[in-house]
Chains A and B, each alone.
Chain A
Amino acid sequence: MTSSSDRRPDKKPDRPTRSPGSRGPSDRIDDPNARPELEGETPETGGAPEAAASGDGPVSPRLGVVGYLRFFWRQLTSMRTAILLLLLLAIAAIPGSLVPQRSSDPNGVTQYFADNPDVAPILDSLKLFDVYSSPWFSAVYILLFISLIGCIIPRTKHHFDAMRARPPRTPARLSRLTDHREETYADTDVDTALAEARTILSKSGYRVEDYDQRGVRSLSAERGYLRETGNLVFHASLVGVLVAVGIGGGFGYAGQRVVVEGQSFVNSAIDYDSINPGRFFDEESLSPYALSLDALDVTYETSNIAAYGQPIDFTAHVTTTTPDGNSTAQQIKVNSPLRFQGTDVFLLGNGYAPTITVRDPDGSVVFTDSVPFLPQDANLTSIGVVKVPDGLAKQVGLVGFFYPTAQPLGDGAFTSNYPDLVLPILSLNVYTGDLGIDDGVPRSVYTLATDDMTQIAGRDADVAAIQLQPGETAQLPDGLGSIEFGNANPDAASGDYSGSVPRFASLDIHSDPSQLWVLLFAVLVVAGLLTSLMVPRRRVWVAVHSVEPAGADGATSGGVRVEYAGLARGEDPRLGEAIESLAYRHGTALGVERL
């Protein structure tokens, strides 16, 4: 055991070298370096590795694997290691904010590879695009949590013992404590003084113990065990958070699905655009409810010039139908997901889905759909792709640009200068050739590989790009057929395009049964932290000495001299006040006149 002055570095040097009560087991709460589990360890196993390391003396023959293991365990669970691991964790987290991460920004990673073709593979081999699941990041936090557990367990046991132990013996020289006070009271005796002090202390939540040492009778009192309880709850709940996140996350899934106004989808794995099941997730367990998007209402700012066109509300009106057929109209908003049948449905994106119909030269429909176009900017300039593999003379691919409020840029190009439908224009480049669909390689519905195709309408072709407004039809070049841009609101007055193009909502649908556990532990973290930092833990002693009657004839009656002293266990700025107040109340109880 280290000397107690070392273990209380917060105390001024004029403190007693042996702090009062340092014999009590609960003493070590102040310094977690002095681990309870070290107690009783033989010097051989405890000290040998250090001796071996420093090279003094022969290696003890008794030092075996166990000795080393113990040594490393002690190092790992020391508070110094905890600090180093915490700092290492902070440093290890930094690169993930400097380099795009696959988990949160996959497009950024692709872009990074394109921009830095030399560096990116090196960074990738160091897992810098997956920092938070990389082996080195995991190693740091796993070590930290092993250290944490190795710290919690002995402390819990220790705390449990301390709560049942007697407050420690009263130190012999209370006057050496910083928070010390002495009073003399006449006309009272030791028993009364002790009894009154005991009452006051008990009322203030102290556990009180009587001592009689070398003729001096005293009370030893301690309070604030809750501080350590809070500390343990705090640290244990951190483990709880990690376990809930790490294991619990495996029981959930996350899926994405784009739904166009008027369409619906069924909550089953095949109906998602993409789905990431957790390790333990059973796709069969999805409740097959149906969700249809009746309307997606978007409101844009129109009165505040500084924010003109900024979206101020997205509301998805949906109808949900449970597997047993109950339909309900519901709403999804940003910040207010739909929690339904064990899933959470979030509205994370929106855009336009122009309805495009392609006919062959005879007028038979070979393609018709509302095609989601991906927004490229805040004014919803959007890009989409249509693939017509069958029904026409050749395979046809269309790359479309949609402008909700088209603004000519000259030279035939457009931009959109407002996100709502004021002057919608759809501009299509037409390609013929191999769509690459038949070879079985999956292709994104949002991109068209144009390498093996020929542009027949557009900037690189003789024919200009096809431009359509809602309700218009145009002929495809080379007599391939015709294309129509449908108007979803044909009854509107001429020039009013509101509602002419359907919107889509991109929905994220999750289930994470561990989420509530994470929250529960997080709340416990805060509660534990508050308790451990706010509840003062202190020891207080009251020693009562009897004072001989003054004067040889015993004319004046006897009295007592009372010493009050306190010792903080941890941060306790109010200890001095507490001693003052104890002395004051004790004095009052013993009949001191107060004005």
Chain B
Amino acid sequence: MNLNDFSVMALWTALALYALAFIAFTFDLARRSSEVRQSAEAAVPSAVERGGAAGSAGSRTLTVDRPAAAGGARVSASRSPSLRVGVALTALGFVVHLAATITRGIAAERVPWANMYEFAMTGTLLIISVFLIVLTREDLRFLGTFVTGLVVVLLGISWNFYVEIAPLPPALQSAWLVVHVFVASLGTAFLALGFALSVVQLIQSRQESLKLELSALRLRFLATLPASDRLENMAYRVNIIGFIFWTFTLIAGAVWAESAWGRYWGWDTKEVWTFIIWVIYAGYIHARATRGWRGTRSAWLSIIGFAAVLFNFGIVNVFFKGLHAYSGL
């Protein structure tokens, strides 16, 4: 077995581990829903009475930190076996995924991000890394279903892009390949997380505005998630980091284009889309600072922005003609 075969095998293993983690995270959301139902029945009256202090229901410790009037009982599930299993499987998947990526790089004798298959491999690795790093500072484990789901789908698709190891074409033989593509992938990883948070924010704010009885809703686990304004703040924080990386990517790409193609900007399709994405996120940042655009509208911009990122990666690379014909397909 050569190194590349090992890399392929490891990547499959990582994919399987992420799929299992996905199941564990989903199980956790389902469990939250059922616990919310129990606690909503048991704890809401006392929460109302006490105006937002802690209450407990059943054998587990559930904190109800908001009165029902504010959109329903808010339950934080402090400990959950399936959540821990999900995080552990994700971390394990990450280790195997990292090994797959490193061995691919060693086998190719260069950085493992020079064609679509490798972009997908490294990009998803970065999404998982950013997720795991953020988890050490902020409890975003409720995003596990989304993050592992996205990575499983992306890795699954990436098998269609599989190519044997090939040497770099002259235009890619540049230190900028290392910097520009890596930073772009890193930015994408942050924007992915921002996207996930914005989606949850939208769902959450919808249910907050509906003010329905919790038990009447199917997405009961929402009660265990942060409130929409907090989700918005978190989305903003990861998105601006992604935006900074994206700005850098744009500039580094222009510098590279100058030395490879003789002009720093030529409205090549890939350049156009990188620019469009940048402008959308600039709009998002302004929206968040503007009355009337905050909340739902800015969340939509974050979602549209990430849709453009996916489009830029998946559609533009494969189907559009242009100088960035490096998908390796």
Contact B169 A87 (CB under 8 A): no
A97 and B272 in contact, given A311-B170, A334-B170 (Cβ under 8 angstroms): yes
Is there contact, CB below 8 Å, between A90 and B280? yes
Taking CB atoms, residues of chain A closer than 8 Å to B179 are none
Contact across chains for B291 and A7 when beta carbons are under 8 A apart: yes
Q: Among residues 251 to 266 in chain B, which have CB atoms less than 8 Å away from a CB atom of chain A?
A: 251, 254-255, 258-266
Residue A395, interface by CB 8 Å? no
Are B251 and A526 in contact (CB-based, < 8 A)? yes
Residue from A31, A93, A335, A510 in contact with B272 in the complex, judged by beta carbons closer than 8 Å: A93
B106 within 8 A of A: no
Residue B159 CB within 8 A of the other chain: no
Contact pattern, A 296-318, Cβ under 8 Å of B = 1, otherwise 0:
00000100101100111110000
A334-B171 contact given A306-B164, A348-B261, A348-B262, CB 8 Å threshold: yes
- Closest B residue to A82 using CB positions: B286
B293 and A83: CB pair below 8 A?
yes
B247 to chain A: which residues have CB within 8 Å?
525-526, 529
B287 touches which one: A83, A93, A306 (CB < 8 A)? Answer: A83
- Residue among B167, B233, B263 making CB contact with A307, cutoff 8 Å: B167
Q: Does B135 contact A (CB under 8 A)?
A: no
- Complex Cα–Cα for A571 and B241 (A): 13
Within B191-245, the residues touching A (CB, 8 Å) are 229, 233, 236-237, 240, 243-244
How far is B289's CA from A131's CA once the two chains are assembled, in angstroms?
A: 31
Contact at A104–B293, with CB atoms within 8 Å?
no
Contact with A along B32-62 (1 / 0, CB 8 A): 0000000000000000000000000000000
B167, A310: Cβ atoms under 8 Å?
Answer: yes
Q: Which of A9, A312, A518, A523 contacts B264 (CB 8 A)?
A: A518
Interface presence of B248 (CB below 8 A): yes
Complex-state Cα separation, A97 to B323, whole angstroms: 12
Contact (Cβ within 8 A) A310 B280: no
Select A87's contact among B173, B264, B283, B292, beta carbons within 8 Å: B283
Cβ contact of A94, chosen from B163, B262, B276, B282, cutoff 8 A: B276
B255 to chain A, nearest CB (A): 7
Q: Mark B63-101, 1 if CB is under 8 A from A, else 0.
A: 000000000000000000000000000000000000000
Please tell me if the beta carbons of A97 and B269 are within 8 angstroms of each other in the complex.
yes
Contact B262 A337, beta carbon cutoff 8 Å: yes
User: Is B268 interfacial (CB 8 A cutoff)?
Assistant: yes
Q: For the complex, give the distance between the alpha carbons of A334 and B169 in Å.
A: 10
A311→B169 contact, CB < 8 A: yes
Residue of A nearest to B241 (CB): A533
Name the B residues within 8 Å of A82 (CB-CB): 286
Q: Tell me, in angstroms, the Cα distance from A453 to B306 when the chains sit together.
A: 57
B9 at the A interface (CB under 8 A): no
Smallest CB separation, A277 vs chain B (Å): 15
Which of B167, B236, B265, B294 has the most chain A CB atoms closer than 10 A to its own CB?
B167
Q: Which of B295-329 contact A (CB under 8 A)?
A: 301, 316, 320-323
In the assembled complex, the Cα of A306 lies from the Cα of B282 at a distance in Å of 42
Q: Check: A573 CB closer than 8 A to any chain B CB.
A: yes
> Size of chain B's interface in residues, with CB distance under 8 A?
57
A265 contacts the other chain (CB 8 A)? no
Asked whether A304 and B167 contact (CB < 8 A) given A83-B287, A83-B293, A105-B321, the answer is yes
A101 beta carbon closer than 8 Å to chain B: yes
- Is the pair A87, B255 in contact by a Cβ cutoff of 8 Å? no
Closest CB in chain A relative to B155 CB, distance in Å: 22
Expressed in whole angstroms, the minimum distance between the Cβ of A195 and any Cβ of chain B is 36
Bound complex: CA of A269 vs CA of B229, how far in Å?
A: 62
Does A79 lie at the interface of the complex (its beta carbon under 8 Å from any beta carbon of B)? yes
Evaluate contact between A337 and B259: CB separation under 8 angstroms.
Answer: yes
Q: Which residues of B contact A313 (CB under 8 A)?
A: 170, 173
By a CB distance below 8 angstroms, the chain B residues around A329 are none
Give the residues in chain A near B170, CB-CB below 8 Å.
Answer: 311-314, 333-335
- In the complex, which residue of chain A has the Cβ closest to the Cβ of B293? A83
**With the chains together, A131 CA to B268 CA distance in Å?**
12
**A90–B275 alpha-carbon span in the complex (Å):** 8
Min CB distance, A318 to chain B, in Å? 16
The answer to whether B316 touches A519 (Cβ under 8 A) is no
- Assess whether A563 is interfacial by the CB under 8 Å rule: no
Q: How far is the CB of B305 from chain A (nearest CB, A)?
A: 9
Smallest CB separation, B210 vs chain A (Å): 18
Query: A484 near B: Cβ within 8 Å?
Result: no
Would B290 and A87 count as touching, CB distance under 8 A? no
Judge whether B153 is part of the interface by a CB distance below 8 angstroms.
no
- Give the chain A neighbours of B322 by CB distance below 8 A: 104
A10–B294 contact, CB under 8 A? Answer: yes
B157 contacts partner chain A, Cβ-Cβ < 8 Å:
no
Choose one: B260, B287, B320; the contact of A97 (CB below 8 Å): B320
Question: Given contacts A86-B279, A533-B240, could you give 19 more A-B pairs where the C-beta distance is less than 8 Å?
Answer: A9-B291, A10-B294, A33-B291, A79-B286, A83-B286, A97-B273, A104-B323, A108-B321, A254-B263, A301-B167, A307-B167, A312-B168, A314-B170, A337-B262, A510-B263, A515-B264, A526-B244, A571-B237, A573-B233
Interface CB pairs A-B, < 8 A, 14: A10-B229, A82-B286, A83-B287, A105-B321, A306-B166, A334-B171, A334-B260, A335-B170, A335-B171, A335-B174, A346-B261, A518-B264, A519-B255, A571-B236
B interface residue numbers (CB < 8 A to A):
163-171, 173-174, 229, 233, 236-237, 240, 243-244, 247-248, 251, 254-255, 258-269, 272-273, 275-276, 279-280, 282-283, 286-287, 289-294, 301, 316, 320-323
A: residues with CB less than 8 A from B are 6-7, 9-10, 12, 31-33, 79-80, 82-83, 86-87, 89-90, 93-94, 96-97, 100-101, 103-105, 108, 131-132, 245, 254, 301, 304, 306-307, 310-314, 333-337, 344, 346, 348, 508, 510, 515, 518-519, 522-523, 525-526, 529-530, 533, 570-571, 573
Counting from the closest, the 5 A-B pairs by CB-CB distance are A306-B164, A307-B166, A346-B262, A334-B170, A86-B283
